[in-house]
């Protein structure tokens, strides 16, 4: 029986199952893509860069999920005595162990190497593979794919005029349907938002609510993921003072987290703007569905974000004549989002003011 099982395993390995047990390297896959591009091996270029994008998604999901998991874990201190601020040291030691174990297990489970060079990660974050891919697709006469690849890269790098011209060129080609040129890395919440707006314009109130509620939740989840990615920080300017070095890293982390909201530009300047817009559509849709209590809750959440908005204040007066005041309860996810956002902005302002004072002091000393 054991021999029979070994034969089955060997047979399955012979049809490529065992090859999947090999560990894949994101660095090597990306480099093979660049090499194929430089040697004008277009089909190989496509295979390697598509694979690098796939591997990066796996890599990023493991890194981010472990960070979120370890951050949410309540570590019980093993040293019960409380002395000075030593518990925070133990917390970070526990966090280090949690991240190491979680990430090692995650990479082993999907058979990829966890060591990735900073240069490759930077290229993947700036959507560099799509700059190569649009040319490789073009050379293989896959113009619709080339158009979407160019568009995806351009959205991440809107300052590059050449890529803008490439997108315009592709759209003009008879093989390309402009409506099918898409962002290949568009987040789900953006798709749901567009579906919600379309349903709203058609006065399909139930469909509007379903899509926009998912979009709102999806955005909050996406931003948390983006914020977790920020924990990979570049080297900061060294200081012999421990507190100064740590403060610089903390400020860099906060700046990165705040920049997650830049993903909403140019349509929205901030997460608060986006969320308030979604809430506005929702309260109107809830009203048409005769779900007045849900509308009141949505109005209250909107005013938490924009307390002086005159139109919404007038809407609240209307709803107050239809439901009791207890219905005006803020959504906890919205209240938490705003509180965190405001707190981070205050911390950054405090940090920057301290830097300004330091600069002035240094200037006075030089004079």
SS3 readout for 104-173: HHHHHHHCECCCCCHHHHHHHHCCHHHHHHHHHHHHCCCHHHHHHHHHHHHHHCCCCHHHHHHHHHHHCC
pLDDT value for 77: 75
Neighbours of 49 (CB within 10 A): 25
In a domain, 329, yes or no: yes
Q: Is pLDDT at 366 greater than 70 in this prediction?
A: no
Could you tell me the pLDDT band of residue 271, with boundaries at 50, 70 and 90?
A: very high
Note whether 324 and 198 are same-domain residues. yes
Note whether 195 and 340 are same-domain residues. yes
Residue-wise pLDDT for 28-38, tens only, equals 999 999 999 99
pLDDT value for 243: 86
Quick one: average pLDDT of 234-246? 80
In a domain, 231, yes or no: yes
In a domain, 67, yes or no: no
Tell me which of 163, 180, 197 is where a domain ends: 180
CA distances from 195 to 171, 191, 204, 288, 301 (A): 23, 6, 11, 18, 22
Residue-wise pLDDT for 159-172, tens only, equals 999 999 999 999 99
Note whether 152 and 298 are same-domain residues. no
In a domain, 138, yes or no: yes
Q: Is pLDDT at 173 greater than 50 in this prediction?
A: yes
In a domain, 109, yes or no: no
Q: Which range of residues forms the domain containing residue 218?
A: 188-354
pLDDT value for 244: 87
In a domain, 260, yes or no: yes
Note whether 154 and 267 are same-domain residues. no
Q: Is pLDDT at 187 greater than 70 in this prediction?
A: yes
Note whether 256 and 171 are same-domain residues. no
Q: Is pLDDT at 309 greater than 70 in this prediction?
A: yes
Could you tell me the pLDDT band of residue 126, with boundaries at 50, 70 and 90?
A: very high
Could you tell me the pLDDT band of residue 21, with boundaries at 50, 70 and 90?
A: low
Tell me which of 115, 146, 180 is where a domain ends: 180
Q: Is pLDDT at 5 greater than 70 in this prediction?
A: no
Tell me which of 180, 196, 214 is where a domain ends: 180
Note whether 172 and 221 are same-domain residues. no
Q: Is pLDDT at 239 greater than 90 in this prediction?
A: no
Residue-wise pLDDT for 42-85, tens only, equals 999 999 999 999 999 999 999 999 999 999 888 777 777 767 77
Note whether 202 and 133 are same-domain residues. no
How far is the first Cα of the chain from the last one, in angstroms, to the nearest whole number?
A: 88
Largest CA distance in the chain: 88
Note whether 168 and 299 are same-domain residues. no
pLDDT value for 10: 39
Note whether 221 and 170 are same-domain residues. no
In a domain, 27, yes or no: no
Note whether 243 and 301 are same-domain residues. yes
164 in Cβ contact with 154 (< 8 Å): yes
Supply the pTM of this predicted model.
0.84
Note whether 159 and 306 are same-domain residues. no
Could you tell me the pLDDT band of residue 8, with boundaries at 50, 70 and 90?
A: very low
The residue among 233 and 358 whose pLDDT is bigger is 233
Residue-wise pLDDT for 313-353, tens only, equals 999 999 999 999 889 999 999 999 999 999 999 999 999 88
In a domain, 200, yes or no: yes
What's the structural domain count of the chain? 2
Note whether 337 and 234 are same-domain residues. yes
């Amino acid at each position: 029986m054991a021999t029979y099982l070994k034969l089955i395993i060997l047979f399955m390995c012979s049809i490529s199952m065992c090859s999947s047990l090999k560990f894949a390297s994101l660095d090597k896959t990306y480099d093979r893509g660049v090499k194929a591009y430089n040697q004008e091996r277009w089909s190989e270029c496509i295979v390697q860069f598509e694979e690098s994008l796939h591997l990066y998604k796996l890599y990023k999901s493991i890194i981010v999920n472990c960070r979120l998991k370890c951050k949410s874990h309540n570590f019980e201190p093993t040293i019960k005595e409380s002395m000075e601020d030593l518990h925070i040291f133990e917390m970070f030691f526990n966090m280090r162990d949690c991240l190491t174990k979680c990430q090692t297990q995650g990479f082993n489970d999907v058979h990829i190497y966890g060591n990735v060079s900073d240069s490759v990660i930077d290229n993947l974050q700036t959507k560099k593979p799509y700059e190569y891919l649009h040319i490789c697709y073009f050379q293989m006469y896959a113009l619709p794919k080339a158009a979407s690849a160019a568009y995806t890269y351009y959205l991440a790098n809107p300052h590059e005029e050449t890529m803008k011209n490439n997108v315009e060129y592709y759209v003009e080609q008879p093989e390309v349907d402009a409506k099918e040129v898409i962002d290949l890395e568009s987040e789900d919440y953006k798709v749901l938002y567009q579906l919600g707006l379309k349903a709203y314009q058609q006065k399909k109130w139930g469909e509007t609510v379903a899509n926009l509620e998912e979009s709102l939740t999806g955005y909050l989840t996406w931003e948390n993921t983006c914020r977790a990615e920020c924990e990979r920080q570049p080297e900061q300017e060294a200081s012999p003072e421990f507190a100064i070095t740590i403060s610089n890293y903390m400020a860099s982390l906060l700046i990165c987290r705040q920049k997650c909201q830049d993903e909403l530009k140019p349509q929205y300047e901030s997460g608060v703007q986006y969320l308030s817009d979604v809430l506005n559509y929702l309260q109107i849709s809830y009203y048409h569905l005769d779900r007045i209590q849900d509308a009141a809750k949505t109005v209250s959440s909107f005013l938490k974000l924009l307390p002086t908005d005159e139109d919404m204040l007038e809407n609240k007066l209307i709803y107050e004549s239809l439901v009791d005041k207890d219905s005006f309860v803020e959504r906890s996810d919205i209240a938490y989002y705003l509180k965190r956002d405001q707190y981070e902005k205050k911390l950054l302002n405090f940090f920057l003011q301290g830097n300004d004072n330091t600069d002035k002091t240094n200037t006075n000393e030089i004079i």
